[in-house]
Amino acid sequence: MPDDSADVVFCSQSFHWMNPQDTLSEVNRILKKGGIFAAVDCDWPPVCNANAEIAYMNLFNKVRLIEEENNDIRETFHRWDKNNHLKNLIESGYFKYCREIVFDNCEECSIERFLALAQSQGGLQTILKHSPELIENDYLNFQKAVYKSFDTGRNKVSFCYRMRIGIK
């Protein structure tokens, strides 16, 4: 894209997979003065019920442990800490105004959707692809707990989002 040509640059569930310095440098190059950069991420798990959330957190604590203990898995990706997104925007010096906005959306969620959301997470996907034996028992326990905690097969859930914005 040409310099100073974009009104908005938007990253949805993706900025943590990009080198923040390189990305923000390119964003700065293409954004017009007054243009907006926004990075949106979900907080995981969605808010639903304690048992499903505990099962989710247990599964992803195991995912992080497997990632830490297995170089062959850890070396397949590089993930930047989402908690540093706003700090990275501010420290880049490219934006006159930066802030974080938090919002949510409440909706119905089926067991299948909740399980698919967990399975869509990069760390779990990588382990299931490269070394499924390291996580399969934990994933089965997670599935059982979710089926048990979703009484009717559907629950109301709140998807909580954090949007970090910078205005050039």
What does the pLDDT look like over 104-151, one tens digit per residue?
999 999 999 999 999 999 889 999 999 999 999 999 999 999 999 987
CA distance 100 to 12: 14
Contact call for residues 48 and 114 (beta carbons, < 8 A): yes
pLDDT at 8: 98
pTM of the model: 0.85
Contact call for residues 14 and 26 (beta carbons, < 8 A): no
Contact call for residues 159 and 53 (beta carbons, < 8 A): no
- Using 50, 70 and 90 to split pLDDT, how confident is the model at 80? very high
Q: Which residue type, as a one-letter code, is found at position 164?
A: R
5-7-8 Cα angle (round to 5): 120
Please tell me what DSSP assigns to residue 75. Answer: T
pLDDT of 29 over the 90 cut: yes
What does the pLDDT look like over 40-79, one tens digit per residue?
999 999 999 999 999 999 999 999 999 999 988 888 888 8
CA atoms within 13 A on the CB side of 132: 7
Contact call for residues 90 and 98 (beta carbons, < 8 A): yes
pLDDT at 165: 98
pLDDT of 162 over the 90 cut: yes
What CATH code is assigned to 6-167? Answer: 3.40.50.150
Q: Where are the alpha helices (DSSP H) in 19-135?
A: 20-30, 50-69, 71-74, 85-92, 111-119, 122-130
- Using 50, 70 and 90 to split pLDDT, how confident is the model at 154? confident
Contact call for residues 142 and 118 (beta carbons, < 8 A): yes
Contact call for residues 53 and 157 (beta carbons, < 8 A): no
